[in-house]
Amino acid sequence: MTHIPHDLSHVQSRDKAEILAQALPYIRQFHGKTMVIKYGGNAMTDPALQQAFAEDVVMLKLVGINPVVVHGGGPQIEGLLKRLGKQGQFIQGMRVTDAETMEVVEWVLGGEVQQDIVGMINRAGGKAVGLTGRDGGLIKAKKLKLLDQQDPALEHDIGQVGDIVSIDPSVVKSLEDAGFIPVVSPIGFGEDGESYNINADVVAARLATVLRAEKLLLLTNIRGVLDKAGELLTNLSAVEVDALIADGTISGGMIPKIAGALEAAHSGCNSVHIIDGRVPHAMLLEILSEEAYGTMIRSH
């Protein structure tokens, strides 16, 4: 396949036609299908990459694919907590979220970050709408039980961190059908209306499962899943991923990301892509070309 340069201004017309022709089978294959995109990492903080992401999302919508964006915002939450003089506390890698911290999480995720993404997509020619788990009863949650890694009998209280009870995707489907691009903040709500901060990878994976999405796309700051020699593994089955976790090839911080991806692949989402969000338009190139810009995990 012809490598697609990031700036097409100097590309010959014949080459442009070839690029478009090679995208056509993918557009045909995925027309009318839903794709859930977890937006995070450098793609979320670098202005040029933000612009490329917004253009990609709008392009997908324009060719008849239904993108649903789920975003994180850890660095932005950390930044505001620092400005307020509040020290972040973590237990086993999880942020302890007391009531005051939860307020900050809601301001940042459901306010500033979400509206920045909505505005960015709208400026690129799309029609984005922001949602939290509260909107349309989208994400019901309960308090996450964090068991101690050394002593499973011991449970840590990490405050308003949530575990998903259920997702009702009807509001997302209604927006999709009306031509809108849903942008979801990973905030759930409990039985008494209390808010919960939920891991964005988990929300994206569960939403992809419930929507029976064609693809779940995870934009990250890594190339994808690497083998022990550091080479990119571009195409794996869910069973092969299980084996790579078992032999230690996939370890550390990669495991939680893979766990959500695997759950989605095992539960009805056709494929999951872990994509290098530091490459402009990597998402579009991964979906609409033969080029690999990350790791694809197939359900079979």
The correct answer on CATH 3.40.50.720 for the domain covering 32-298 is: no
230 annotated ligand-binding residue: no
Is position 95 annotated in a ligand binding site? yes
Residue with the bigger pLDDT between 192 and 7: it is 192
Phi, psi of 249 (to 5 degrees): -65, -40
Query: How confident is the model over 269-274, as a mean pLDDT?
Result: 88
**Closest by CA position to 22, among listed 288, 284, 214, 283:** 288
At residue 149, does pLDDT exceed 70? Answer: yes
Backbone angles phi, psi at 46, to 5 degrees: -90, 120
Instruction: Count Cα neighbours of 262 within 13 Å in the Cβ-side half-sphere.
Output: 16
One-letter amino acid for residue 279 of the chain: V
Length of the chain equals 300
Q: Of 36, 120, 106, which Cα lies nearest the Cα of 73?
A: 106
- Examine the pLDDT at 16 and tell me if it is beyond 60: yes
**pLDDT of 229 higher than 90:** no
Residue 257 pLDDT > 80, yes or no?
no
Of the ranges 34-43, 93-102, 131-140, the best mean pLDDT one: 131-140
pLDDT given for residue 148 in this prediction = 83
The alpha carbons of the chain give a radius of gyration, in whole angstroms, of 19
In this predicted structure, what is the pLDDT of residue 3?
42
Q: What angle do CA 117, 60, 235 make, to 5 degrees?
A: 100
Contact 247, 241 (CB under 8 A): no
Rounded to an integer, what distance in angstroms lies between the CA atom of residue 144 and that of residue 159?
A: 8
Q: Which of 295, 188, 292 is nearest to 233 (CA)?
A: 295
φ, ψ dihedrals at 4, nearest 5°: -90, 115
Buried residues in 67-91 as b, exposed as e (16+ CB within 10 A)? bbbbbbbbebbeebbeeeeeeeeee
What pLDDT score does 101 carry? 92
pTM: 0.89
Give me the DSSP letters along 244-288: HHHTTSS-TTHHHHHHHHHHHHHTT-SEEEEEETTSTTHHHHHHH
d(CA 70, CA 173): 15
Domain residue ranges of the chain, discontinuous segments joined by +: 32-298
pLDDT, residue 140, reads: 97
* Alpha carbons 158 and 180: distance in angstroms, whole number: 36
Q: Place 242 in a pLDDT band, splitting at 50, 70 and 90.
A: confident
pLDDT averaged over every residue in the chain: 87
**68 φ, ψ to 5°?**
-125, 120
The predicted-structure confidence for 28-56, as pLDDT tens digits, reads as follows 999 999 999 999 877 788 889 999 999 99
pLDDT of residue 11: 54
User: 86: which DSSP letter?
Assistant: P
Q: Given pLDDT bands bounded at 50, 70 and 90, which one contains residue 9?
A: low
The C-alpha atoms of residue 116 and residue 111 are separated, in whole angstroms, by 8
Q: Which of 257, 197, 185, 249 is nearest to 222 (CA)?
A: 257
pLDDT at 300: 73
